[in-house]
Amino acid sequence: MNFDYSPFNPLIWGVFIVVWAFIWIIGNAYRKKYRFKEDSQKK
Amino acid sequence: MQAIAERVRGCVVNAKTRSVEWENWMPLSPEKHLMEVADVCDKKWGMLRKRPLAFLLSAFAGGAFVCFGAMLALAVSAGVPSNLAPGLANLLMGLVFMFSLVIIMFSGMTLVTADMAYGLVGVFQDRITWRQFVWGVFVGYIGNFIGSMTFMWIMSKGGGYHALPWLMRAHEIGLAKTGETAMEIFVMGIICTWTLQSAAILFMKTNDDMSKIVLTAYGPLAFVAGMNEHCIANIGFLAVPLFQQDIWVEAVSGMNNVAPVLMHWGFGKFGWAHNQLFTVMGNAIGGTLFVAVVFQLVADPLKLKDLYRKRHELMAADGELKEVE
């Protein structure tokens, strides 16, 4: 099937989901490792 | 001496030597720079939380500012013969479009693609949550959409743009953008925010206004002259030929050499929504994965943590001082 003009192009949706899953994993790992909030709220 | 230094941002006077020091004139370190970006994220999302209508209005203005550039790009590129130099019209469009981001950044208005990058830096530095990030991007897009559509609808009623060269050029741009395949639009969307958000994030890198103007202008110049796809610019670029389509059909109905290919608002070839969907998806990757994540990971996290600690100590000392007073 030709998805060139379809809103459900599986390759593009696949890339989009994989990239955002990657950003989410990296982002959460980075936040947990460095905990910037604690440094800015330390008593 | 003090007065001179005060007039020029970034200068300090050395109390011992009474000389003006220019060290603050230098670009910020990567860590200070990323902290500034996170501060901008704080301000933006703080505004969304405390004054949501003001945030929406700032996004409305941002969308309209982008379309100031789109209007100028259409105005200067109409009638430029492609056999003169194929890239000349693109260059002219980029040169007049490039100040759009400058006026957005200097006025502090909202552009959703820039907020994607600032917001993600804020997420990495724990300033906002993922949910807040998604909500901010959504509201920013809605405001930009309304601003862009409103400006272009008003512009499309202007008599100057009903003249044949501009009618033909607007339709030509519309057909070129909506006639591309999904993958062609998607990759050009990625490239667009990769260049544009590099410029938007570098806005915070320097202290003087001239450097900020040059760095910020580079982004739109690169993406327009580079034939990329930007979701907010495309809302306007593609809405104009659709708003004017009946006038265009009437104008070309007597021409034998023009095949009347019509655009439409939906999905599918020559559809507004077809271009918009894949442009948004591409834009949501270029400025985040290749700019925000890369800049954040390049900055030394230990130095960044040290900056947070120093800032906290300064704020605590300031608080104690005020208590004593």
Q: What is the pLDDT of residues A1-43, one digit of tens each?
A: 789 999 999 999 999 999 999 999 999 999 999 988 876 665 4
Evaluate whether B241 touches B263 at the Cβ level (below 8 Å): yes
The answer to whether residue B5 is domain-embedded is: no
**B120/A36 Cβ within 8 A:** no
Helix (H, G, I), strand (E, B) or coil at B325: coil
Number of structural domains in chain B: 1
Could you give the residue ranges of the DSSP H alpha helices within chain B?
2-7, 30-50, 52-77, 88-97, 99-107, 112-124, 130-156, 164-178, 182-202, 209-225, 231-243, 245-252, 272-287, 293-298, 301-324
Expressed in angstroms, the distance from the first to the final Cα of chain A is 61
**B181/A4 Cβ within 8 A:** yes
Distances (CA, A) of B118 to B21, B134, B149: 31, 12, 24
* DSSP per-residue string spanning A1-43: ---TT-TT-HHHHHHHHHHHHHHHHHHHHHHHHH-HHHHHH--
The answer to whether residue B3 is domain-embedded is: no
Give the confidence band of B110 by pLDDT, cuts at 50, 70, 90. Answer: very high
Contacts of B126 in chain A (CB under 8 A): 31, 35-37
Mutation choice for A interface testing from B120, B124, B298 by most A CBs within 10 A: B124
Evaluate whether B186 touches A14 at the Cβ level (below 8 Å): no
Give the confidence band of B86 by pLDDT, cuts at 50, 70, 90. Answer: confident
Evaluate whether B120 touches B293 at the Cβ level (below 8 Å): yes
Q: Choose among B123, B273, B284: nearest Cβ to A27.
A: B123
Supply the pLDDT for residue B179: 97
The answer to whether residue B118 is domain-embedded is: yes
**A39/B124 Cβ within 8 A:** no
The answer to whether residue B256 is domain-embedded is: yes
Q: How far is B188 from chain A (nearest CA, A)?
A: 13
Supply the pLDDT for residue B16: 58
Q: Which residues of A touch B (CB under 8 A)?
A: 3-7, 9, 11-12, 15-16, 19-20, 22-24, 26-27, 30-31, 33-37, 39-42
Distance (Å, rounded) from C-alpha B110 to C-alpha B101?
Answer: 10
The enclosing domain of B169 has a CATH number of 1.20.1080.10
The range of the structural domain enclosing residue B107 comes to 28-324
The answer to whether residue B191 is domain-embedded is: yes
Q: Choose among B182, B271, B273: nearest Cβ to A9.
A: B182
Q: What is the pLDDT of residues B159-215, one digit of tens each?
A: 789 999 999 999 999 999 999 999 999 999 999 999 999 999 999 988 889 999 999
Q: Give the tokens for residue A30.
A: 């980075």
Distance (Å, rounded) from C-alpha B248 to C-alpha B257?
Answer: 14
Largest CA distance in chain B: 85
Evaluate whether B12 touches B21 at the Cβ level (below 8 Å): yes
The answer to whether residue B82 is domain-embedded is: yes
Is some CB atom of chain A closer than 8 A to the CB atom of B175? Answer: no
Give the confidence band of B9 by pLDDT, cuts at 50, 70, 90. Answer: very low
Residues 6+ apart with CB under 8 A from B249: B260, B262
Mutation choice for B interface testing from A2, A26, A30 by most B CBs within 10 A: A30
Evaluate whether B113 touches B283 at the Cβ level (below 8 Å): yes
The answer to whether residue B8 is domain-embedded is: no
Residues comprising chain A, all counted: 43
State whether ipTM is beyond 0.90. yes
* DSSP per-residue string spanning B79-128: T--TTT-TTHHHHHHHHHHTHHHHHHHHHT---HHHHHHHHHHHHHTTSS
Contacts of A40 in chain B (CB under 8 A): 308, 311-312
Contacts of A31 in chain B (CB under 8 A): 123-124, 126
Half-sphere exposure of B68 (CA within 13 A, CB side): 15
The answer to whether residue B1 is domain-embedded is: no
Q: What is the pTM of this model?
A: 0.89
